[in-house]
Amino acid sequence: MTQSTANDTADCQANNSALDEFAKFDPGAIALLLDVDGTLIDIGPSPFDVDVPDTLKHDLAALDRLTGGALALVSGRPIRDLDILFAPLRLSSVGGHGAELRIAGAAASRIDDLPSDMRRHLTDAATPGSGIDFEDKGYSVALHYRRAPQQEDRLRAHVEASRAAFAAEPTEVLLGKAMVEVKRPGINKGDGVRALMMQAPFRGRMPVFIGDDVTDEAAFVALPALGGKGFSVGRNFSGLSGIFSSPAQVRRALRQLARYE
């Protein structure tokens, strides 16, 4: 057996184990917390060019009912964008890596925005033809270089220059998959998950979180104290209960949990 074949076999076994472990959950006893890009849906060429299958929306709606509303999207995207992507669903959500929180049926809370001049300075990196896309979320600016990986060094230099130009404004940098985000400090998915789990209908349930990126690490770190379990897509994090091979496998696991298979 070649090393490549051995790795493929190990990945298949790990994925099957994750599917088996996930299928054991009782939706009536858990809080289902789901990252979006790279977890529920495949990474697109830009944040604005992604596909959310109708079958996924159908399964999420079913699981929202089965969990008694204890299902939430936990994403770096703003909640307004999540609502557009998953329309007509308006699910409970942690948006902006924890900068926003909404329990379905209630108004969303959010932190204060960064100064508009600073956000303009940051988005100046997305010049025409550069291949860089930006998301101005108000409280943060995310710069994506999926379509132009050769721009990474220039983009990071631009970000540091922007922060230096507004040195009096406390910020920190969050790195993700072909992405650099400047945000207010102390905002992360771990704290967002903790805040969510204090609210009904999530309170008192076992959180089950699925994520895929280093931006999800804070959520994985938060799980043990909450009695929760974590699953990832395609990479290992400490203390995981399983690793899925792809967003397609996550969607399969959700469908199984919704008892359609």
Q: What are the tens digits of pLDDT across the range 232-242?
A: 999 888 889 99
Same domain (yes/no): 253, 144: no
Domain tally for the chain?
2
- Please give the residue range of the domain that contains residue 47: 3-110+188-257
Per-residue model confidence as pLDDT tens digits over 1-57: 333 333 333 344 445 689 999 999 999 999 999 999 999 999 888 888 899 999 999
| Domain C-terminal end among 144, 161, 183 | 183
The CATH number that applies at residue 152 is: 3.30.70
Known catalytic residue: 212? no
Which residue out of 8, 11, 26, 35 is catalytically annotated? 35
* N-to-C CA span, the chain: 34
**Higher local confidence (pLDDT), 3 or 221:** 221
Q: Over range 80-97, report the average pLDDT.
A: 96
Same domain (yes/no): 52, 172: no
Same domain (yes/no): 217, 122: no
Same domain (yes/no): 156, 246: no
Burial class (CB in 10 A: 0-12, 13-18, 19+), 221: middle
Same domain (yes/no): 98, 120: no
**Higher local confidence (pLDDT), 186 or 7:** 186
Q: Which two tokens stand for residue 178?
A: 């072909």
Same domain (yes/no): 150, 25: no
Rounded Cα gap, residues 121 and 18, in angstroms: 44
| Domain C-terminal end among 167, 183, 199 | 183
| Domain C-terminal end among 140, 164, 183 | 183
Residue type, 238: S
Confidence of residue 122 (pLDDT cuts 50, 70, 90): very high
Residue type, 160: E
**pLDDT in the model for residue 2:** 38
**pLDDT in the model for residue 49:** 86
**pLDDT in the model for residue 9:** 36
Provide the whole-model pTM. 0.84
The CATH number that applies at residue 95 is: 3.40.50.1000
**pLDDT in the model for residue 27:** 96
Q: Please report which helix (H) or strand (E) contains residue 71, including its range.
A: strand 71-74
Same domain (yes/no): 91, 135: no
**pLDDT in the model for residue 108:** 86
Cβ contacts of 87-91, under 8 Å, gap ≥ 24: 89/57, 89/60, 89/61, 89/64, 91/60, 91/64
